[in-house]
Amino acid sequence: MDTNSFLVGMKLETIGGVKYAELSGDQVRGRFKETLSEITSASQPNPLETFLNCGSDPTAIVQFTLSFGPLKQEPKPGSEFLFYLQEFMDAQQLLQGMWRDKSHYEKPIDLLKEHGGNYRFQKGSITYAAPTLFVQLIADLIIRPVERLRVCQQRGCSHPYFFAKHRNRRYCSDECAEQSQKDFNKEWWQTQGADWRRNQRKKVP
Ligand SMILES: [Zn+2]
């Protein structure tokens, strides 16, 4: 049993809203909106899964920032922000690694102690208000049941990090499952097909 399971089901939020974000050399510069709004883990698309899968080229990083905000800058209405592309890539690799190797389950993580923010109790549910988007992403990762954190088995999948709704799922989507079956068949015919055909001919009297 994982040690963060008491957090499962907790709601997560942070505030954000980006007025503009653009590439500036090896950095992204931008500004928060004057009026900020909530970004929750229930938002569609989910911020964490988008972050893990969005890629790390400059255009993708700017696009993510426009949609969800900068990772580590405290959201303040109208304030400017600036970060290096490399910081984004490092953060992305860190969380992808946590998703893949699940090492964060070895010890319980005390969100408040490590990252600040606060809890709110409301109508029988707990909401964790994260101080930054990045902390929300970490929290979203650690509260998920560990056995459902999956990486799609289809080679070249463009959306490999996925949360399995069913225990046995190995592919992120029906498309990837189908493609994988096609690739398997093709490979089988290329490697085993000649033998099979030869054997079939032998059976004919
Ligand atoms: Zn896939």
Cα of 178 from ligand 1 centre, angstroms: 10
pLDDT digits (tens, 9 = 90+) for 94-123: 999 999 988 776 666 777 788 899 998 888
Q: Residue 204: its pLDDT value, please? A: 65
Q: Does 129 score more than 90 pLDDT?
A: yes
> What is the dihedral angle through the alpha carbons of 30, 48, 60, 23, rounded to the nearest 10 degrees?
20
Cα of 154 from ligand 1 centre, angstroms: 5
| CA–CA separation, 163 and 60 (whole Å) | 22
Cα of 114 from ligand 1 centre, angstroms: 33
Q: Is residue 154 part of a domain?
A: no
Q: Is residue 41 part of a domain?
A: yes
Cα of 81 from ligand 1 centre, angstroms: 34
Count up the domains in the chain and report the number: 1
Q: Is residue 145 part of a domain?
A: yes
| CA–CA separation, 159 and 194 (whole Å) | 35
Q: Is residue 181 part of a domain?
A: no
Q: Residue 1: its pLDDT value, please? A: 42
Structural domain of residue 33, as residue ranges? 5-149
Q: Does 75 score more than 70 pLDDT?
A: yes
Does the N-terminal peptide bond of residue 70 adopt cis geometry, omega within 30 degrees of 0? Answer: no
Q: Is residue 190 part of a domain?
A: no
Residues present in the chain in total: 205
Q: Is residue 42 part of a domain?
A: yes
Of the pLDDT bands very low, low, confident and very high (cuts 50, 70, 90), residue 180 is: confident
HSE at residue 99, side-chain half, CA atoms within 13 A, is 25
Q: Is residue 131 part of a domain?
A: yes
Return the percentage of the chain with pLDDT > 70, whole number: 93
Of the pLDDT bands very low, low, confident and very high (cuts 50, 70, 90), residue 52 is: very high
Q: Is residue 163 part of a domain?
A: no
Cα of 40 from ligand 1 centre, angstroms: 25
